[in-house]
């Protein structure tokens, strides 16, 4: 029993210690942002790696999710004779929730894991140490551009996800089950609010972008420098990143749409 409490205390301490290191790490990485203005190519390279290379999975997933929303929404709405509201349902669900959340989850799995593995391997093979000895701070040269690229990429990916999702909903709703095209779009235009819905969705995806990328680069940098360590860190990025997205989504939703 005592041992159990001891273990509990120890894990709690470890968690807080790691959180502390993570916060210090984040601040150090932020300190590298101003210098990136002059060397934006570093960020662009990373935008390609985390953003452009995620386009396909985001686009395909968005289209499927939109099609499912179109079908499910239609089947539910038709019971109330409200099927012309399908456009609104699809758009609101995507812009407020599924766009930011699902794209952040996909980003964690596709780009976050790659970031962790890349940085972890650089650490394990002493590339980060070598950089330090060449008087180049890896926090500024490796971590900061990746963090910034992630923060820029995730909201854009979420926007793309929502846009493609609406197309998917349109394809099913208007193309397959026969909702009137005019009402589909005009109801959507009337009911989706730029501040309440779109802006809040964007804020969500910015927060997710920061948190998931932070977890990914920190896990990579904090890796135990062995092959096992890198593989564990990569798994942790996906698990912790996804849980953080879902948890934060609840908190943010409560704050934004709670009243």
Instruction: Give the footprint of other proteins on this chain (CB under 8 A).
Output: 121-122, 125-127, 129-130, 132-137, 141
Taking the complex as a whole, the smallest distance from the CB of residue 150 to other proteins amounts, in Å, to 18
Nearer to other proteins, 5 or 135 (CB): 135
Contact 115, 234 (CB under 8 A): no
Taking the complex as a whole, the smallest distance from the CB of residue 196 to other proteins amounts, in Å, to 44
Nearer to other proteins, 53 or 206 (CB): 53
Tokens describing residue 33? 């942002």
Cβ-Cβ contacts under 8 Å for 133 (sequence gap 6 or more): none
Nearer to other proteins, 28 or 72 (CB): 28
Taking the complex as a whole, the smallest distance from the CB of residue 222 to other proteins amounts, in Å, to 16
Nearer to other proteins, 130 or 239 (CB): 130
Taking the complex as a whole, the smallest distance from the CB of residue 42 to other proteins amounts, in Å, to 11
Other C-beta atoms lying within 10 Å of the C-beta of residue 184: 24
Tokens describing residue 183? 């009402």
**Spatial distance between the Cα atoms of 165 and 69, rounded to a whole number of angstroms:** 8
Q: What is the signed CA dihedral for 27, 44, 136, 226, rounded to 10 degrees? A: 80
**Spatial distance between the Cα atoms of 82 and 65, rounded to a whole number of angstroms:** 21
Nearer to other proteins, 52 or 251 (CB): 52
Other C-beta atoms lying within 10 Å of the C-beta of residue 175: 12
Nearer to other proteins, 89 or 122 (CB): 122
Taking the complex as a whole, the smallest distance from the CB of residue 126 to other proteins amounts, in Å, to 4
Residues 191-221: b if buried by 16+ CB within 10 A, e if exposed:
ebeeeebbebbbebbbbbbbbbbbbbbbbbb
Taking the complex as a whole, the smallest distance from the CB of residue 193 to other proteins amounts, in Å, to 45
């Amino acid at each position: 029993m005592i041992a159990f409490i001891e273990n509990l205390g120890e894990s709690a301490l470890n968690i807080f210690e790691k959180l502390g290191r993570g916060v210090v790490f984040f601040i150090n990485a932020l300190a590298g942002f101003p210098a990136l203005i002059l060397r934006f190519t570093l960020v662009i390279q990373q935008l390609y790696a985390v953003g452009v290379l995620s386009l396909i999975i985001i686009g395909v997933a968005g289209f499927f999710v939109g099609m499912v929303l179109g079908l499910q929404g239609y089947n539910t709405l038709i019971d109330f004779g409200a099927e012309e509201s399908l456009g609104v349902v699809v758009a609101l669900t995507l812009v407020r929730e599924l766009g930011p959340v699902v794209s952040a989850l996909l980003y964690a799995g596709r780009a976050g894991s790659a970031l962790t593995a890349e940085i972890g391997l650089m650490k394990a093979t002493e590339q980060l140490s070598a950089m330090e000895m060449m008087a180049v701070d890896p926090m500024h040269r490796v971590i900061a551009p990746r963090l910034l690229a992630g923060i820029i990429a995730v909201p854009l990916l979420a926007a793309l996800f929502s846009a493609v999702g609406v197309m998917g909903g349109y394809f099913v709703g208007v193309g397959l089950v026969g909702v009137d095209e005019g009402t589909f779009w005009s109801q959507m235009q009337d009911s989706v609010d730029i501040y309440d819905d779109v802006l809040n969705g964007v804020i969500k995806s910015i927060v997710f972008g920061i948190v998931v990328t932070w977890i990914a680069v920190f896990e990579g940098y904090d890796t135990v420098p062995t092959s096992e360590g890198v593989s564990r860190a990569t798994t942790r990025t996906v698990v912790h990143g996804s849980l953080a997205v879902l948890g934060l989504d609840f908190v943010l939703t409560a704050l934004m749409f709670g009243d």
